[in-house]
A and B are shown apart, each in its own frame.
Chain A
Amino acid sequence: MARTRPHTARNRAAVGFLLPFCVLFLTTFVAPICYAVHQSLFRVERKGALGLGGETEVFAGLSNYTHALEDSQFLAGFGRVLLFGVVQVPVMILLATVLALLLEAASARGVVFFRTAFFLPYGVPGVIASILWGFLYVPGISPIVEMLDGAGLDVDFLSDGTLLWSIANIVTWEFTGYNMLILISQLKAVPDELYEAARIDGANAWQVAVRIKLPLIRPALVLTTVFSIIGTLQLFSEPLVLKPLTGNIDTGYTPNVHAYNEAFGANNYHVAAAEAVLLAVVACVLSFGFMRLVGRRGKVGDE
């Protein structure tokens, strides 16, 4: 019996430590998901033209899901973010990796300054970043547009064709430094002995980077890529903030914007819930699909 006492005490301590997390996890994560799934299975029926005769919620089966999947604007939004992700995520991760390797190279100078400078945009909230860039894109205000105009280049950053890449630029500016920092922290965990051994074997800086550093930060690369894929699917504040500046951002520019407008513009909470669930499913499929692809499933852990 004496043997179990420390066990119970330890268990109690463990429960005590886990409880706050579990409570928050259940109430702010699991419960809303369950609520959204529940909402997505119902619809409203109203009496009278103005609904003044009252309303009833009835079970709708999967009709909200078929409704969402038949909405060409919603699907176009998916197409747009996928195109965005295919281009922007590799560019950003590559950029972050190059910066991380440069800053961690033995010959790097001014490391602290550059690390802070590159990371700083992440400290700027996405909405503010979009406003800042918005000013740099709008003709009439933007010094960049004016300069290009002076050089004889007629560039419209907010046109139908360029807009997505203007947004990609904002996102890259915001998150490259953040991803770089994750990669740097993993680089710092590489034991010095490996570098010493490599040097003794006659490896140059390039070989050290490609043969030792990159393979060893692979888990961090996978992690940052997965985060970026999820972030891409959740693209929201940038298009919403830029919307007043151009007619080219429609109600379904990204799936998230579409769900938002469905919920708070059209007050179709049930359809919006279905769209949110679909979005989450796609995010899961892509994230886990990517992890399976790189054969590192489970290393990164659940989202």
Chain B
Amino acid sequence: MNPVGTSRRSLLAASAATAATGLAVAGCGSGDDATVARRKPGQSIRMTFWAWVPGIDKAVDLWNRKNPEVQVDLEKVSPHNSAQYAKMHSALKAGNPPDLAQVEYMNIPEFLLERGLVELGEYGAGAQKDKFVGWQWEQVVYDGGVYAVPQASGPMAMFHRADLYEKWGVEPPATWDEYEATARTIRKEGAYIESFPATMGPWFAGLAWQAGAEWFRTEGDTWKIAIDSEPTRRVADFWEGLVRGKLVKTVPVMQSPWYSAIQSGEVVSWLSASWGDALITGNAAKTKGKWRVAPLPQWKRGAGASANWGGSTTALFRGARYPQDAMDFAVWLNTDPESVDLLIAGGYGWPAAKKGFEGSRLDRPSDFFDGQKYNDVFAASDKAVDTSWKWGPTTVAMINHITDALNDAINSKGSFTDAMRKVQQQVISDMRDKGLKVEAA
């Protein structure tokens, strides 16, 4: 899941994470797989679990109360600056990873590359497939193996200040062309439609995903990279136009300047994931009742193409001591109605469990969103996410490249398309460094 919380908190968390990383790095040696044991009936075991999604502590507590023999020790890790993955990779390298960890969909391949994840087919994961939303399940399947249990996603839609839209006589845009026109109208009123989040690589990837890009695929042993492709260029050109025309702000989103802009009505909408609701309600409480949610603008009117930003799984790390019990826990955590309710209450994202949404607290009208049953928009969005998208094996680095290149383009007035071409070259070079066969598609 993406960073959640105020900037003050994120700063503190970042520092804590830096400290934690330092500790993790101190460990060394290359212990190999711990012995894989099966729990004997009646035997008590403990497992460690690294995660950061809000609400997870309550769900783990519930499991521990119900399963005295299989106790799960939850350790919270910080998701800021990808510090949690630095910690996990160091632990894997040092041979002392946790049994289970929260891993985002986009980061699974890079753990596969380090042979860091346990293949779950052996433990009956295949039988669990029907419990999960189709595209989310596809995100954990690689090369015929199941490498994690889906937890939650971040289907995207458009949060907007319905009161101001109405006052200025604009509708939520149905197409990207309309979006630009709407941006102009709003700019004339002295506000901005959006802040372009150049610090959020996965956001940009999500919109390229919506435009029909498929950045990564494999042909035999060879990766084919299509970051520098028509759909991505279309998205890049579009946002470059908005940035150059000063129709959007460019402050980093989910940081204090941005929060003050959405509080004051200087920024009046946000293309974001379902988990964005908690950030708006939590940080702009005084705008209660003024927001609504509309579907994402489309490249082709009425196409209903969707995008995803963020989303996590529960994965078993190499050396997990009791893989069967660990997988049972992971499945319970992400499908048990009581557990999913606790996770939803914490704001963990969009349920991967098929039955997670209906009847849950997401499935209700909200006063904050003007009485709208706004999660219906996200439910439709989640159903429409393109299932064929795959992530590459160097995601953390790729996200860094995207933010570097886009920020650089904004500062130096370079083209966004060139920026994404550079990202593609860097990704190819990174993957070669990993000893992989790779070429531009």
List which B390-422 residues lie within 8 A (CB) of chain A.
393-394, 396-397, 400-401, 403-404, 406-408, 410-411
Question: Which residues of A lie under 8 Å from residue B338 when comparing CB positions?
Answer: none
B281 to chain A, nearest CB (A): 19
CB-based contact A49/B437 at 8 Å: yes
A135 to chain B, nearest CB (A): 8
Distance, CA A17 to CA B312, complexed state (A): 54
User: Is B252 located at the chain interface by the 8 A CB criterion?
Assistant: yes
Known: A52-B143, A244-B11. 10 other contacts (CB 8 A): A43-B433, A50-B393, A140-B256, A140-B260, A244-B7, A247-B250, A248-B407, A251-B404, A261-B400, A267-B110
List which A246-294 residues lie within 8 A (CB) of chain B.
246-248, 250-252, 261, 264-269, 271
Question: Which residues of A lie under 8 Å from residue B90 when comparing CB positions?
Answer: 264
Closest Cβ neighbor of B404 among chain A residues: A250
Name B397's contact: one of A240, A248, A266 (CB within 8 Å). A266
Give the segment of A81-89, A115-123, A126-134, A191-199 that binds chain B. A126-134
| Number of residues on chain B facing chain A (CB within 8 A) | 62
9 A-B pairs closest in CB distance: A264-B86, A247-B407, A266-B397, A45-B435, A250-B404, A140-B260, A49-B218, A46-B435, A251-B400
Question: Which residues of A lie under 8 Å from residue B155 when comparing CB positions?
Answer: none
Distance, CA A52 to CA B199, complexed state (A): 32
Distance, CA A139 to CA B14, complexed state (A): 19
Distance, CA A244 to CA B82, complexed state (A): 11
Question: Which residues of B lie under 8 Å from residue A268 when comparing CB positions?
Answer: 430, 433-434
User: Is B172 located at the chain interface by the 8 A CB criterion?
Assistant: no
User: Is A44 located at the chain interface by the 8 A CB criterion?
Assistant: yes
Question: Which residues of B lie under 8 Å from residue A55 when comparing CB positions?
Answer: 115, 435
User: Is A73 located at the chain interface by the 8 A CB criterion?
Assistant: yes
CB-based contact A46/B81 at 8 Å: no
Name B18's contact: one of A48, A52, A237 (CB within 8 Å). A237
B406 to chain A, nearest CB (A): 8
B410 to chain A, nearest CB (A): 7
Q: Which residues of B contact A (CB under 8 A)?
A: 3, 7-8, 10-12, 14-15, 18-19, 21, 25, 80-82, 85-86, 89-90, 93, 109-110, 112-115, 142-143, 145, 198-199, 218, 220-223, 250, 252, 255-257, 259-260, 393-394, 396-397, 400-401, 403-404, 406-408, 410-411, 430, 433-437
Distance, CA A266 to CA B426, complexed state (A): 11
A40 to chain B, nearest CB (A): 13
| Number of residues on chain A facing chain B (CB within 8 A) | 45
Distance, CA A245 to CA B258, complexed state (A): 10
A266 touching B396 in the complex, CB below 8 Å, given contacts A131-B15, A134-B11: yes
Distance, CA A139 to CA B115, complexed state (A): 44
Name B220's contact: one of A49, A73, A247 (CB within 8 Å). A49
A241 touching B198 in the complex, CB below 8 Å, given contacts A44-B435, A247-B252: no
A-B contact pairs, 12 of them (CB 8 A): A43-B433, A47-B221, A49-B221, A49-B437, A55-B115, A73-B404, A237-B18, A245-B252, A251-B400, A252-B404, A265-B86, A265-B397
Question: Which residues of B lie under 8 Å from residue A141 when comparing CB positions?
Answer: 7, 256
Question: Which residues of B lie under 8 Å from residue A52 when comparing CB positions?
Answer: 112, 115, 143, 145
Closest Cβ neighbor of B223 among chain A residues: A49
User: Is A149 located at the chain interface by the 8 A CB criterion?
Assistant: no
Closest Cβ neighbor of B254 among chain A residues: A244
Distance, CA A46 to CA B434, complexed state (A): 7
Name A244's contact: one of B19, B81, B435 (CB within 8 Å). B81
Distance, CA A6 to CA B110, complexed state (A): 63
B59 to chain A, nearest CB (A): 28
Secondary structure at the B interface, as helix, strand, loop or mixed, is: helix
User: Is A296 located at the chain interface by the 8 A CB criterion?
Assistant: no
Q: Which residues of A contact B (CB under 8 A)?
A: 43-52, 54-55, 67, 73, 127-128, 130-131, 134-135, 138-141, 160, 237, 240-241, 243-248, 250-252, 261, 264-269, 271
Closest Cβ neighbor of A131 among chain B residues: B11
CB-based contact B7/A245 at 8 Å: yes
A197 to chain B, nearest CB (A): 52
Distance, CA A244 to CA B83, complexed state (A): 13
Distance, CA A93 to CA B80, complexed state (A): 35
Name A50's contact: one of B82, B112, B199, B396 (CB within 8 Å). B112
A267 touching B112 in the complex, CB below 8 Å, given contacts A43-B435, A50-B142, A251-B404: no
Distance, CA A272 to CA B79, complexed state (A): 22
Distance, CA A83 to CA B145, complexed state (A): 51
Question: Which residues of A lie under 8 Å from residue B113 when comparing CB positions?
Answer: 46, 50-51, 267
Question: Which residues of B lie under 8 Å from residue A54 when comparing CB positions?
Answer: 115
CB-based contact B18/A265 at 8 Å: no
Name B11's contact: one of A241, A251, A252, A264 (CB within 8 Å). A241
Closest Cβ neighbor of B411 among chain A residues: A160
Distance, CA A134 to CA B80, complexed state (A): 16
B284 to chain A, nearest CB (A): 13
Question: Which residues of B lie under 8 Å from residue A252 when comparing CB positions?
Answer: 404
Distance, CA A243 to CA B7, complexed state (A): 12
Question: Which residues of B lie under 8 Å from residue A265 when comparing CB positions?
Answer: 82, 85-86, 396-397, 400
B91 to chain A, nearest CB (A): 11
CB-based contact B80/A244 at 8 Å: yes
Question: Which residues of A lie under 8 Å from residue B15 when comparing CB positions?
Answer: 127-128, 130-131, 241
Closest Cβ neighbor of A73 among chain B residues: B404
Question: Which residues of B lie under 8 Å from residue A241 when comparing CB positions?
Answer: 11, 14-15, 18
Closest Cβ neighbor of A243 among chain B residues: B81
